[in-house]
Structure 1
Amino acid sequence: MFKIKGIWLKIFFAALFFVELISCKSNVLPVFSTQSKPQVPNYNNEVTWAVLPSNYPKSLLTFEVKIDSLPVDVFYIYPTLNIKKRDLRWNVPVEDEIQNEKVINTAVQFQASAFVNVGKLYVPYYRQAHLRSYSNMENGGSSALNLAYSDVKNAFKIYLKKYNKGRPIIIAAHSQGTTHAIRLLKDFFDGKPLKKQLVAAYIPGIAIKKDEFSTIDFMTSPTEVGGFVSWNTFKKNYYPKNYDKLFKNAVVTNPISWNSNISSDRMDHKGFLFSNNKLYEQALEVFVKDGILWISLPHFPYKIFVLGKKSYHVGDINLFWEDINENALLRVKSYFKD
């Protein structure tokens, strides 16, 4: 009897090992070239757009917006939302309902909404690259990002042909969105006739060098137009591990003063949009360092939720929601004066 139990025990562990082996193999990241690519979106179809002026989601309609009276357009590219390690896809289909819910209820609601009173919003869905693409550039990440950008580029072409009608443009983006926005600015604006329609590019979340563009300057005053602003937010006195490689010598905007000030007091902070959809003003001090932006511990009722936080990457925009809103309005006013 004991002998039989021993045999069955061995069989059990052998079977368990086999299951684990199969499971591990199923989680091996597939080569980009062997993975089926999601269907190419047709941006002539409204369903491929998260936001169009004719179809704002409910989260944006909570703001009192007179869309028809807005004098400029805002083309917004959302950040990386596909971050689950178990998701082995290099790119997400634009029909993915879970991804699209994140686009509307996180990216649009807490980032694009900062421009809702500034211009007509255009937000295309795109076959976004997985977060791992940035750490696996040679093994598929570069191809995945190229595929994602091809969608952004095609969406912008349709936007220009079908919707723009010569109106001034603000480019807004964050993180992976900024990766694509940089390429978009080079392909359509930098040294191109369309440059004259560029009000400003708000492109935080990726380190950018001062000479990234030939004719699109880093803006250092709050009323300047035709250039770009950018920043990457971290806790005060914290340097990320990849600081020297990625961030050192990158340009940094003070998103409260919008000029060359290296710091701003908490009293000058206009307000950040928290996850409860409430705006909290006078909550942040900022300090411009070489390549990064430091902030103080947010001064608001729920600061316990950010205690110990070192990177504020996900909050690059909503931490300065009202500051961005007011500055974008100011730059639009300055654009039309010029």
Structure 2
Amino acid sequence: MASLSRRGHRPFETLLVLLTLDVGLRHTGLRGPWRYGIAHLLDILAIAAGAWLLAALLLLIEDAALSRFRTDVLDNLSARTMHTQIQLLRRITVAASVVAAIIMSLFTFREARLVGTSLLASAGVVAAVVAFAAQALLGNVFAGLQIAFGESLRLEDVVVVNEQWGRVEEITLTYVVIHIWDDRRMVLPTSYFTTTPFENWTRTQASLLGTVELDLDWSVPVDQMRDELRVILTDSQPLWDGRVCVLQVTDAVHALVRVRALVSAKDAPTLWDLRCLVRERLVGWLREQHPRALPRLRTEVGAPDGREPAAEHPSNHGGGPDRDAQVFGGDSAGRRRGSEFTGPEDRR
């Protein structure tokens, strides 16, 4: 009721005063050339005040609906969907109220009614001309409705657009505002998101996987490095969500091998900090414990030396690969991840 009073008091008061003046003027004995002009003006103002009151009541209903869906909780996917749809409906209702008020005001003029009758007789031609002239605007409007009710994009979604990482700050019927991570704003037409591929990192969940890649010498102790990765992530519990900890050699050509650490975090900002931390700690560990594993160029002259092969690391005992050495296996989460990327024949 407090919201109703705050939003509806002024438009209701204005409409009541204008209707009172209009009725009073029409039922008095005052005559003169000014009477018709004043009465006509009061009619137009009453229509505007009625549209104002209608829009205020619709906004009140939408605010009540928004208050039922909180976005400041961890699992806010449904709430963000409803906020996106309700805010677009808010803009539609306000625009419809304004357009309806303008049309009703115009039809209070006799000339406008005559023009309206002529337009209705040639509605097909007029509709074709208007659609052709405003095809870009109408395309963005329909794209905005498609985004709102197709759930491909929501408020607060984290997206990558034109190689820019940001958050969806505002969605209107004609444009979308992306808040870039460095506080810039990118404004794109809504039709962009229905015609151009983009990355949505939070469409179903916020948690992500990230990689840290290092090009190292062939002498790098992969098993020990894998154990060190586990130690680093265990010490980084506020950042690491405990889902994925994998270290693999993904490439081994020419003078270097590529070692990739795969880690997981609850959201994109946390993942960025975790990746930077893992990269820093691994580089420091290599520099202090295994400096010969750092990237270098070697030239061999003559026969190779007779060095004994390194002893097997204890982490390899017991048979089978290390669980931190498999992305799509090793533990139940890895096996489940692998099953999601197999065909129906492989699942059987």
The interval holding the TM-score normalised by the smaller chain is under 0.3
Larger helix share, 1 or 2: 2
* TM-score relative to the length of structure 1: 0.20
When the two structures are superposed, what TM-score results if normalisation uses the length of structure 2? 0.20
